[in-house]
Amino acid sequence: DTAVSQTPKYLVTQMGNDKSIKCEQNLGHDTMYWYKQDSKKFLKIMFSYNNKELIINETVPNRFSPKSPDKAHLNLHINSLELGDSAVYFCASSQDPGRHGYTFGSGTRLTVV
Amino acid sequence: QQQVKQSPQSLIVQKGGISIINCAYENTAFDYFPWYQQFPGKGPALLIAIRPDVSEKKEGRFTISFNKSAKQFSLHIMDSQPGDSATYFCAASMYNNDMRFGAGTRLTVKP
């Protein structure tokens, strides 16, 4: 059983489109995250949700919006996609922020053409 | 603002050698320091972690050395193997806060 699963694994879309990436965790963790990894492998946090409440919202464009229907799911919606949004997006979860490690999903490679 | 600085950016080591990756942090409130290993096409996976009340932690061939006064910590991979070739990230966090990652080190172990 995959602990943190993301879909889709690959996403190719045109500029201006709206897309969503889904994430589910079966670990019972209270906190979920979205990270963006650029071409240089740098991991940058985008959002964090704790028990369905947003607790971190880094300076990302408001075209990106996280949605958490319950504590096991954290989806990422992206509107009006731009070329610069091309990256690998990782979902992660943690039982206790700052006390335990994160469990990452396998990533979604987004390519905007 | 990069709160965790990692070096080197890339590292090439011969099989059987020792790989050393260094990290430095700024915020003295950090109290949890993990290392993650990422293979191509996969997400980062927790490798080993340390808290500042100890100076060293060893798990198999992987050791974290921690220097609280210098605000530095490092990952040592003993007897490096080609299967260890991956990108390694150090990170730091504090209670109830998100984790800050270093920029990553791409390790290549040559046979």
Express each pLDDT in A50-99 by its tens digit: 876 887 777 789 899 999 988 899 999 999 999 999 999 999 999 876 77
Task: Pick A98's closest partner by Cβ from B87, B95, B103.
Answer: B95
Name beta bridge partners: B5: B24
| A96 HSE (CA, 13 A, CB side) | 5
Chain A environment of B103 (Cβ under 8 Å): 40-42
Residues of chain A that touch chain B, judged by Cβ-Cβ distance less than 8 Å:
4, 33, 40-43, 45, 48, 56, 90, 92, 97-99, 101-107
What long-range pairs does A62-65 form, CB within 8 A, spacing at least 24?
Answer: none
Which chain B residues contact residue A42 at CB under 8 A?
A: 101, 103-104
Q: Provide the token pair at A97.
A: 């922020």
Per-residue model confidence as pLDDT tens for chain B (111 residues): 568 999 999 999 999 999 999 999 999 999 999 999 999 999 999 999 999 999 999 999 999 999 999 999 999 999 999 999 999 999 999 876 778 899 999 999 999
Strand positions, DSSP E, B2-61: 4-7, 10-14, 19-25, 33-38, 45-50, 56-59
